[in-house]
Structure formats: structure tokens, C-alpha cells
Amino acid sequence: MSELFGGVLAAGAVREAVADPAWLAAMLDVEAALARASDAPTDIAEEISGACRAARFDIAELGAAAAGAGNPVIPLVRALRAGVSPAAAAYVHKGATSQDILDSATMLVAHRALGPLLDDLAGAADAAARLAEVHRDTPVAARTLLQQALPTTFGLVAAGWLTALDQAADRLAQVRAHRLAAQLGGAAGTLAALTPSTVGRLARELGLAEPLLPWHTDRTRVADLAGALGTAAGAVGKAARDIVLYSQTEVGEVSEGRPGGSSAMPHKRNPVAAVSASACAAQAPGLVATLLGAMAQEHQRAAGGWHAEWRPLRTLLVSTGSAAYWLRESLTNLDIHAAKMRANLDLSGDALIAERVAAALSSSLGPDAAHDKVRSVLASGQPLADAFPEVDPSLLDLTTYTGHAGSLVDTALRHHSSRERP
């Protein structure tokens, strides 16, 4: 992890949850769990478990030795065996292959890292829910293709963020509960030196799902995790992008309560949290693509594809976790400027109720003729009230043309409050 850029691109608790010490601890947890799940005598399993303390190992030395071995498990097992009695050494790593340990550790690291990540997603969703409730009926311009379209409410905008975040969190929670599985298959995935029941015991020891089969070159579990993380990053990125756009000087409809500054311009109040969330989320698609690209692996053991997963998966966890952290910060401290929203609505004059007026005229003129007539009047600059005195004046109030926005917000809030939290 970069110390220079980490404050922005690796913010929040996920960073430490996937750092080198966390991976070492997870590998040792798997070795200890394997000893307990195997046929090792109780005292031997306890000795091995006691030796699986991260403080006994030098991460830098293991990393250097991994260059010659092809992965860090091989030097770790060698060091672990050297630290126990000869009787216990015979049971260290018994029946397992290096990928069993590292894959199980990967799932364990991901399971642990998803805890704070889901917490930040929930915090962001709760903040969006509060905004949706408070601003249920606050009118704001809906924008399509970055142009003002029709009136909507800021509550509905926030409700859209809310439901996307909730759905992304639900998917991540499903993957966490059902797709993060222990790995144990032995040298060729046949369990030749093990009994099949050992797999279930190992999974229960680690708190991971039990796989149907060893999955050394079946990387659908990694792909499911990557896809769910990418989806969560996308949901975060959408909300963050909206906040940045709403914060533009010429728009000014929201601002962050804890803005950032500029090294050159004293007046700047930048939406740094939303910008950071957007930056972190933007990294996810490429990382997901790398992990999906590594899925096609040779026979019973990959020749490089497995190794290609390590860095992008860890980076994807960090990037998505950081994005969720920053969005929570942004939404929790977001200031809403309702008066500016209303002023911006008025910029388009009658244009935002053109659809409503055309609909009122369609019974007499026909839909196409009414549409063309209203378009022509707007182009001339003539007020719609003057051009169409037969239209009920109440239809010309753009703040009442928000459709079912209020009830849609209510639906989103009910679902959010009633759903089972991951």
C-alpha cells in the first residue's frame, strides 16, 4: 500500500484488513484450522495452533523466499515446521497443497474485510435515507443528458442512491455468506492424502462455506466476489458523481460540510469526499476485468492465472472499501441548498412543464400537434399561460409536477427500514 496516496485511495478500515499482516494471520489461521480438522492428536493440533502466531514470522523474509518458491505458503510452512516438535511437524500442512492454504486465506481475508466495507455501505445508505426523508418533497430539476428535463424531488434522488447501495450490499452479503468457501483438495484436487470429511471440518473451523468440490481452477468464487465488489463500487460511484455535479459553482444545489481546499485558490471549497469516492470507484472495473480474465486456468493447477489474482483482488477490496468510506463521509456531512434548487428550476421557465401542458392539449389537438405547438411557443419565448389560456393555471406550477416522487420515496424508505441488515 502506498503511504503517499493511501490517505485518499486507501481510506477506511478495509486497508488494514487486507494488508500483509492480515494475509499472514489468515494463512496461519488456515494452517492451525487444518491441524485441528485433520487426524492429528489433540496435543499435536494444539502445539501447531500455538505456533501459528504471526509475531513469530518475518513478512519480508517470507516475501523474499516466495520469489524462489512461487508463493509465500512454501516458506511459511517450512518455517512453521521448524518451530514445532518433530512429531508435530509431521502434521503441519498434512495432505494440503500451497493453493489450499492461500485460497482459504484469501476467502478468510475477504470475509473479514467485507465486515467494515458493508458497515460503510450501510452508513452511506442510512445517510441517504435521512436525506430522502427530509427532502421527500423538495423540488429539484431532474436532468437527462445533463440538461434540465422535468421537476423531481431531491428526496427521490437520494432514494435512488439508497436503493442502489442497499442492493449492492445485499449482493455482497450473499457472496460473503455462500460463496466464500474453504479450499482443500491436496496436490491435484483429489483429496488423495485426506478424508473428504476434513473439508467440512476445515470450513467450520474457519467460518467459511463448505465447497462441493475442490475449486483450484474453478475461479467462479473469485469472479462472484469481484463482480459484487465491482457492483458496489459502481453504486458508490454513481452517487459520488451526482454529488460532484450538484456541487458545481453554477449549480450549487449541495455542498459538503467538510470541503477541501486548493493549494492555489483560497476560495475553493471542493467536494473532496465525493471526488475521492469517485476516484476509488473508478478503479474497480479494470480490476474486475483482470480477475475475470484470469479465470481460464490450465487443467488442475494454473500456470500464472492464479498468481495474477492476488494483487488485483486485494486492490479491488481496498478501492471498493475506500469508495464506500468516502461516500459515507460525503453523505453524512452533505448540506442541501433547497433555495438554490428552486432557483435553478426557474431558470428553464415554462420548459419543465411543457410535457404537462402538451398532455392537457392533446385531447383537443392530438398528441403530435400538441407537442409541436408547445415546442413552437417555447421557442418563441411566449409564456405558456398566454399562449394557452384554456389550460388550467394549476397545471403551470412546476413544483406540483413531480409525479409519484413522494410515494416512491416512501417505498424506498420502508424497504430500507425493514430489510435484514448484512
- Residue 118 domain boundaries: 6-16+99-178+213-340
Are 154 and 225 in the same domain? yes
The per-residue pLDDT for 263 is 53
Query: Does residue 24 sit within a domain?
Result: no
- Residue 106's domain is classified under what CATH number? 1.20.200.10
Are 378 and 358 in the same domain? yes
Kindly state the DSSP code that residue 128 receives in the 8-state scheme: H
Query: Does residue 26 sit within a domain?
Result: no
Are 111 and 250 in the same domain? yes
Total domains, the chain: 2
Per-residue confidence band for 267, with pLDDT thresholds at 50, 70 and 90: low
Is pLDDT of 166 > 60?
yes
Kindly state the DSSP code that residue 208 receives in the 8-state scheme: -
Q: What is the pLDDT of residues 339-388, one digit of tens each?
A: 999 999 999 888 888 999 999 999 888 999 999 999 999 899 999 888 89
Are 103 and 150 in the same domain? yes
Instruction: Identify any residues that bridge with 334 across adjacent strands, giving them in sequence order.
Output: 256
Cell representation of residue 232: 458496489
Nearest to 216 by CA among 189, 178, 180: 189
Cell representation of residue 311: 494483487
Query: Does residue 183 sit within a domain?
Result: no
Query: Does residue 22 sit within a domain?
Result: no
Query: Does residue 47 sit within a domain?
Result: no
Query: Does residue 46 sit within a domain?
Result: no
Residue 389 has a CB neighbour count (10 Å cut-off) of: 8
Cα Rg of the chain (Å, integer): 28
Q: What is the pLDDT of residues 202-230, one digit of tens each?
A: 999 999 999 999 999 999 999 999 999 99
Are 335 and 355 in the same domain? no
The per-residue pLDDT for 276 is 96
Does 3 or 24 have the greater pLDDT score? Answer: 24
Are 264 and 377 in the same domain? no
The catalytic residue positions are: 262, 301
